[in-house]
Chains A and B, each alone.
Chain A
Amino acid sequence: MTLFPTQEIGSLPKATPETIARWAGRIGLEEASQAVSLAERRSRFNLAFLRAAGLDRIYDGEAHRIEMSEHPFRSIRGAEFVGHARSFDNKYFRQAAVRAPVGLIAPYHHDEFRSVVATVGPRGAPTLKVPVTGPYTLAEWACNDYYLGRQPDRYRPGARANAQRELVLAIARDVVRPTVQDLLSLGARLVQVDEPALGTHPDETPLAVEGFEAAVRGLDAEFTMHLCFSDYRRLLPAILDARSCAEWALEFANRDAPGHDAYALLAELRQYGDTRRVGLGVVDVHRDELESAELVAERIQRAARHLGDPTRLRVNPDCGLRTRSWEVIWAKLERLTQGAAIARRAVGSA
């Protein structure tokens, strides 16, 4: 088995037709006919881009999606959009408000997955890593009007927590699970459940775990959980109860600096006796500054020492690279794959 396999982890920018044309030759992309939609062209472009960058496990950079919360909520009964809220700087998302019991209108990744499989071929389907927004994040990022409003006294202590639990579990059971089941019926075998909101209420980690399990327990696939921009220590040990999770995909590079070893957290996983794989964030997705391949390799080796087992590491960017330019994305992925190769040689010769 290859050490330190590489993988993408989230969304890419929406490529313009000019971008696609400019990169097509370099990444070996056969341009689609004009009859194909722009979303479809972007999807094929992203797959070719990630493949050309040398990543082992890929998806299509969420080319068919608008945003990780807005896209699902378009297919969730009981929710409506109330306007744009700011994420950071000039980045925004459409804020959903839940105003009736939630349910699934239709599996929202169905057409997308079929399209990606059509590009990579049926034999490629099981190697695709499909990102799915997790139930806790969907609930946390929505205004929970319905479930809060039906609490007997919504201002009493505990009322908000009760409402949140009802919404998380309803989304897990009635929205995310059928969506994942649909993906599996189409041939998906690797599903990454994105829970970036999990860091916002560390005290609700047990609820997030309950939602994760309600969404995926017993389904025949490999599930990973992606967390980012959190103080992971505050999620431990409760997060470890997510028994159906085979891999933690975590952001680290964003907070790794001289004098501050972000990867030391892995030693804590080791202390808890957790033996699952780790998808290791080795490049910062929020800065244009390029990590050198040597720095990436050093981070991987440092992480391997903390974890105590190099075979459990996969290497990825911290998060989706959608806020960077294509040139920066290429350079970062290039250094990521080069760094993984350096680390492989170093560990192999040790």
Chain B
Amino acid sequence: MTEYRIGATGPFPRTEELVQATRDLDRGRISPAAAEAAFARAEAEVADVEERLGFDVRTGGYLRWADMFRPFTETWPGVEAGALTRFFETNTFYRQPVLRARPEGGTGRLATWLPDSPDHLAILPGPFTFAALAERSYAPAGPLTPVEEIAAAMTAELRSLGPRTPRQIQFQEPMLTYRPPRGDGAEIVRAYRRLAEGLPGATISVWTYFGDVRPVLPLLDRLPVARIGFDLFESSLEGATALHGKGIGAGVIDSRSTLAEEPREVARRVKEAVRTLGATEVFLGPTPPLDRLPFAPAVEKLALLPALRTEIAR
């Protein structure tokens, strides 16, 4: 019996009130305290949406993250926020992480960026994507590849959170499908093995988007993770073989349009993916992350998830 779960798979868009508040803050029209109150109200609204829609996993919305790397460029020694750079296919930008020295986690400061509850989903940049998008200005001196260095730093950082170490972690790896690695990806497998071994109490998943998952499925299947997420609309699973004991994350809410999804057609595709990949656990969510859309249409689209789950389970 396949188990279907639903939830967000990335940051939420900011509410219109928060948009205005942060603009006003930048223009000196409101105080930091007033902006903080707006953040708190927006986070409460996200929590309400996740509760109301019956999401199996809560995220808190990640409304304070300027981009997926900013908490690390602001807290890890030797890691700086560099040039403003376009983020893949989106109209959003991120500050490119600039690694002046080998990244060292373990600061414990990620706690201020993550949801308070360790049961909420921690959505973090995957080591391959982090390493690929970062600029490195030091000469590697140790035995680890850049991907493994990031994984080591991330493991140390998450372990340093002590009792707040998240129990569910989703690593965002758009680069894996956008520009698949050359070679056999052994360093990526080693990086995830390091994460899995260093975080034995956590359920780890990998979420890909911005490309077809098919070419990297064999590599993803070798990762010691519980679930592999992918964009159902961009992926062709023809010729794919069953995964080895992994769940799948099916990106079924298209954040590139405000059109409502067609439940029957989506259900047909999900069932086909489940059959092909032999998954016994399926997580349904948006793809790519919904923060490309404004808050209201994003929530309208998320609200389709419960109906999609019902249609698929029928």
Once A82-B258, A92-B19 are accepted as A-B contacts, the answer to whether A140 and B91 lie under 8 Å apart by CB is yes
What is the size, in residues, of chain A's interface with B at 8 Å between Cβ atoms? 38
Interface stretch (choices B111-119, B145-153, B196-204, B288-296): B288-296
Structural contact, B294 and A84, CB atoms closer than 8 A = yes
Whole-angstrom CA separation of A78 from B120 in the bound complex: 41
In the complex, A93→B91 CA distance in Å?
10
Per-residue contact bits, chain B 124-167, to A (CB 8 Å; 1 contact, 0 not): 00000000000101000000000000000000000000000000
Given A88-B94, A200-B91, do A144 and B233 touch, yes or no (CB 8 Å)?
A: no
> B257 contacts A148, CB within 8 Å?
yes
Interface residues in A127-154 by Cβ distance below 8 A to B read 140-141, 143-145, 148-149, 153-154
Determine whether B31 belongs to the interface, using a CB cutoff of 8 Å to chain A. no
The interface residues of chain A lying within 8 Å CB-to-CB of B89 are 200-201
CA gap between A234 and B93 in the complex, in Å:
18
CB distance from A235 to the nearest CB of B (A): 13
* Cβ contact of A85, chosen from B94, B233, B294, cutoff 8 A: B294
A279 touches B (CB below 8 Å): no
Bound-state Cα–Cα, A257 to B137, Å: 10
User: Does A97 touch B at the CB level, under 8 Å?
Assistant: yes
Q: Closest chain A residue to B269 by CB distance?
A: A155
Q: Is A284 an interface residue (CB 8 A)?
A: yes
Q: Do B296 and A83 touch across chains, with their CB atoms under 8 A apart? A: yes
Q: Report the Cα distance A155→B262, complex, angstroms.
A: 9
A143 CA / B301 CA spacing, docked (Å):
13
A contact residues around B236 at 8 Å (CB): 157
Within 8 A of A (CB), among B6-46: 13-14, 16, 19, 22-23, 25-26
Residues 260-314 of B contacting A (Cβ, < 8 Å): 262, 265-266, 269, 291-297
Is A87 at the interface (CB under 8 A from chain B)?
yes
B85 touches A148 (CB 8 A): no
Query: Which of the four size classes fits the interface of chain B?
Result: 35 or more
Bound complex: CA A153 to CA B67 (Å): 34
The CA-CA distance from A93 to B13 in the complex, in Å, is: 12
User: Is the pair A82, B297 in contact by a Cβ cutoff of 8 Å?
Assistant: yes
Chain A residues, CB < 8 A from B135: 257, 260
Closest chain A residue to B232 by CB distance? A155
Min C-beta distance of B308 to chain A, whole Å: 13
Contact A143 B84 (CB under 8 A): no
CA distance A105 to B158 in the complex (A): 54
Is B92 close to A, CB under 8 A? yes
Interface string of B79-107 (1 = CB under 8 A from A): 00001111011111110000000000000
Complex contacts, A326 vs chain B, CB 8 Å: none
Give the CA-CA distance A316 to B269 in the complex, in Å.
50
- Residues on B with C-beta less than 8 A from A230 are 86
What 0/1 pattern do residues 90 to 134 of A give for CB contact below 8 A with B?
101101010000000000000000000000000000000000000
Which B-chain residue is minimally distant from A229 (CB atoms)? B86
Q: Is the CB of B293 within 8 A of A85?
A: yes
- State in angstroms the CA–CA spacing of A144 and B22 once bound together: 28
Q: Which residues of B contact A87 (CB under 8 A)?
A: 91-93
With an 8 A cutoff between CB atoms, is A197 at the interface?
yes
User: Does any Cβ of A come within 8 Å of B66's Cβ?
Assistant: yes
What is the bound-complex CA distance between A255 and B133, given in angstroms? 13
Q: What's the nearest-Cβ distance from chain A to residue B42, in Å?
A: 12
Q: Assuming the A-B contacts A86-B13, A200-B88, are A229 and B295 also in contact, with contact meaning beta carbons closer than 8 angstroms in the complex?
A: no
A84-B16, A157-B236, A259-B137 known; 5 other A-B pairs, CB under 8 Å?
Answer: A82-B294, A83-B294, A85-B293, A86-B14, A200-B88
* 19 intermolecular pairs with C-beta atoms under 8 Å apart: A83-B13, A83-B293, A83-B294, A85-B13, A86-B291, A88-B66, A88-B67, A90-B25, A141-B91, A143-B293, A148-B257, A149-B259, A155-B265, A160-B233, A197-B91, A200-B91, A229-B85, A229-B93, A255-B83
- B residues with CB within 8 A of A: 13-14, 16, 19, 22-23, 25-26, 66-67, 83-86, 88-94, 135, 137, 233, 236, 256-259, 262, 265-266, 269, 291-297
Nearest first, the 4 A-B pairs at minimum CB distance are: A83-B294, A88-B93, A90-B22, A286-B84
